[in-house]
Amino acid sequence: MASVAAAGRADLTDAQWAVLQPLLPVGAKPGRPPKWSKRQLIDGIRWRVRVGAPWRDIPPDYGPWQTVYGLFR
């Protein structure tokens, strides 16, 4: 799994993630494991909402914009 080299100032803290993670549905799909963690994708969604930028401008550290948008939808 890829990891974000340096956390952005608005990324989830470990404490925030510990509260949020149990609330997320468990992905029980068979097949290849995901390349991007849910935490990275959620941080990407939060970045986009905070900044107000187009989906295509999400920094690549959060994953491909299509993947981030797919989780948002």
**Residue 7 domain flag:** no
Secondary structure tally for the chain: helices H, strands E? 3, 0
pLDDT at residue 55, as a whole number: 95
Is 70 within a domain? yes
Q: What is the pLDDT of residue 7?
A: 62
For the stretch 24-70, pLDDT in tens is: 888 777 888 889 999 999 999 999 999 999 999 999 999 999 999 99
Task: Please give the residue range of the domain that contains residue 46.
Answer: 34-73
53 found inside a domain: yes
- For residues 60 and 9, the model is more confident at 60
What's the number of domains the chain is made of?
1
Q: Comparing C-alpha atoms, which of 57, 21, 17, 61 is closest to residue 41?
A: 61
pLDDT on residue 66: 95
Residue 57 lies in a domain: yes
Q: Which residue has the tokens 């890829």?
A: 2
Cβ–Cβ < 8 Å for 69, 44: no
| pLDDT computed for residue 1 by the predictor | 47
10 domain residue, yes or no: no
In a domain, residue 44? The reply is yes
63 within some domain? yes
Predicted TM-score of the model (pTM)? 0.80
